[in-house]
Structure 1
């Protein structure tokens, strides 16, 4: 596990370019002076390119710090959330060229791309809003606000285009249909930070930070079917589309737990670096970024987990 950079937050895999895009923002908000968008070799975990972010305040040296990240292989772009200045940005994958910064996403936290419908969705935690942008023109195309909500993690049903957001404040899932001005609200576990949808689109899974659980929700009936303890500080969830298992990052426990959602049982638990933050699954491998500071200069690491092992 070669050290990458301090302040790792999330990663997203590009099949088109065989690259792992990683966001890194080090320092103490509201002033971040060290933030980079990293292109990483998914096999060696060596940095192929590091793109610095523009300075937004010359007096403090603050930069447009990146946190959430998503890849659009159809448009060959990578999207980021810039949480501290309430915006999202778009970059060209091939060169790292900055293409656009889109304001009006209050406390932007995460972003997901629906490549089939040419849409990028962002969660605005600060206003309880979900915002959709045209992935080609970057124009805003939909905005749905749920009063009192705090949307965080996102996933899209690839068949229907429906968006699912974990509502940390409301301990529920927000479902938004493309083109609709209203949302359907579903139950979740205690303090969900992340949501993932099954390959058939019938089930949603939330990683519940407060509860330390994975919650399984039947999207057809709107009912919770299982709650599986995974570890303290459950923060990020992802579905292994080949097996149907769900991986959950347990931030405070320093582990990743694989769950069989049909049986409601833990398959295995794998230790990671301290304070794991996010999991991305691609080609039978799970990439887990942490905030361990375990590198020689305080850099954070990525743990690779072979899902066939």
Structure 2
């Protein structure tokens, strides 16, 4: 056997070994049922370029916008996050056929229309649901209360209408609710004063909610509340208290009426925005003891001097102006 033949045989052997190694190391980890479902989702979204990596001949665990779990869940798809792409259509009902999904996100895709599909209720392991900056219509569905492992819910920046379902308060692990920037009406559910475990952040701003805040909310210690830019009325003072460790409260641009003189804050409060309401009374002297980072009480019916000392003079006049008879620095009007 000559040298040329030996070289050819050696090359062939090396090629075969390399090919076998490639085959062995490129084993498709993706579950076939998950892959089939994902390809249906891609087709339902009109095969967008954004999902070009979703090719049937490749391992779906390597596809863009996806994450597979480890061997303990047999590498099933646990996260689907589609965002900021040139995609149109509706949220495919097939998303409910990814049974191990923990995180589902459609975000900043304004050509996604229609309603939230009920098939989502099949996702028993779902922990985070973010359907935001889309163009969804219809209600905030009551069936979301079936997602018993849900911790994070954001439906912000859509065209959702109707009321906020009271059944969301039944979710035992929910720690964040954001339904801001929609067209929601009705009242804040009374049931939101009795969450079973952790008290969630409540972000309801930029809607058309009306009525008064349920007194039951006064029993809870929230971290963040944003009810701004609605049509809420009545007393909101129950949200405050020396025993509340709330960091941020935004009640601005509503029609609340209560006496600010009686409001006691906790030292943990860093953000307080009450502008554009009908709040009366005066700013308590005790507020000089707090280290507020953001404060706005403008456009109310407050009277009396702005207490001196502490951080209250650190804010400019825009924090205090357009009140009935508030006076003292940093306002130009002096107290008589």
**Alignment TM-score > 0.5, same fold:** no
Q: Tell me the TM-score normalised to structure 1 length.
A: 0.25
Structure with larger Rg: 2
Higher relative contact order (CA 8 A, sep 6+): 1
**Which has the larger share of strand?**
1
**Which has the larger share of helix?**
2
Q: Tell me the TM-score normalised to structure 2 length.
A: 0.24
